[in-house]
Amino acid sequence: MVDRNDSFLREVDEDLRRDQFLKLWQDYGVYFIVLLVFVLLGLGAYKWRESRGLQHEEQTGVRFEHAMQLATQGKADEATRAFSEIAKEGPAGYRALARLRLASEDVKAGKIAEALAAYEGLAADTGADEVLRDFAALQAAVLRLDQADWTEMKNRLTPLAEEKRPWRAPAREILGLAAYKAGKTEEATKLFEQVLSDRSSTAGLSRRAQELLAVLTDAAAAKGAAPLPPTKDGAADKAPPEAAKKRMDGGAAPNK
């Protein structure tokens, strides 16, 4: 008897649930269908945009490679036009890379002011990848090394030289050269030692750091023995040795 009552109650409960569902469907079924249609349309649009984006990125990659080939072949004008088009209409990553290449071409052409403005513009672009932004800031600092004072170089490079920043090793190298130029040999020594102890430093960076530390050691020894010979204007020459400076030109940061 109990089992029969339980079975009857279950049937009643199921009927009530069925009636409630049918009533809900009658009242709101149209809205549910409309909502489902919008969800499916949105998903389809997202997939379409995703596919189009991937296709656009692949096409831009081919165009970027072609522009690189033009630059390698010495066709500077054609390469500049190709990079300019990518910088205007390409995906974010390729736009930033194209801007870097355009700035590099300006440097080769002796257009230092234009290159500096381009690097600084990319460094300030919050929409660009942080690695590329830091690289642009580093290149801007390299261009300013000969003209800027110690304060400017410190302001430019100190953030880039912090731990976990992607270009910290070359940033410390350039900052060390700026310190040497400003006569701050202790800071220069510390920075070059940081380059040597950093596992992210390339073989070239480590070699230059060793050479510059040797220069600083020799300079300190010479200073203790005798004063540096005066230059024509009577001031001691504090500029880095020309050989060391030449090794730095174009080698402050790893290749893009």
Among the ranges given (60-64, 155-159, 236-240), the one the predictor scored with the smallest mean pLDDT: 236-240
State yes or no: pLDDT of 45 exceeds 90.
no
35 compared with 198, residue with greater pLDDT? 198
205 compared with 13, residue with greater pLDDT? 205
Do 168 and 158 form a contact (C-beta atoms < 8 A)? no
Task: For residue 48, give the amino acid letter.
Answer: W
Q: Over the Cα atoms of the chain, what is R_g? A: 32
Residue 24: pLDDT band (50, 70, 90) is low
3-class DSSP state of 230: strand
pLDDT score at 66: 84
Mean pLDDT rounded to a whole number for the chain? 78
State yes or no: pLDDT of 149 exceeds 90.
yes
Task: For residue 29, give the amino acid letter.
Answer: G
Residue 37: pLDDT band (50, 70, 90) is low
pTM above 0.85, yes or no: no
Do 193 and 213 form a contact (C-beta atoms < 8 A)? yes
Selection from 85-99, 151-165, 235-249 with the highest mean pLDDT: 151-165
Mean pLDDT of 27-35: 55
CA separation for the pair 168, 200 (Å, rounded): 9
CA separation for the pair 176, 211 (Å, rounded): 13
241 compared with 125, residue with greater pLDDT? 125
Do 140 and 152 form a contact (C-beta atoms < 8 A)? no
Tokens standing for 153?
């170089």
pLDDT score at 30: 53
Tokens standing for 11?
């049937």
pLDDT score at 138: 96
Selection from 6-15, 90-99, 180-189 with the highest mean pLDDT: 180-189
3-class DSSP state of 1: coil
Task: For residue 164, give the amino acid letter.
Answer: K
Nearest Cα to Cα of residue 121 among 148, 90, 100: 100
State yes or no: pLDDT of 14 exceeds 70.
no
State yes or no: pLDDT of 239 exceeds 80.
no
- Mark out the alpha helices in the chain (DSSP H runs): 2-72, 76-89, 92-108, 112-123, 130-144, 150-157, 168-181, 185-197, 203-225, 242-248
Task: For residue 98, give the amino acid letter.
Answer: A
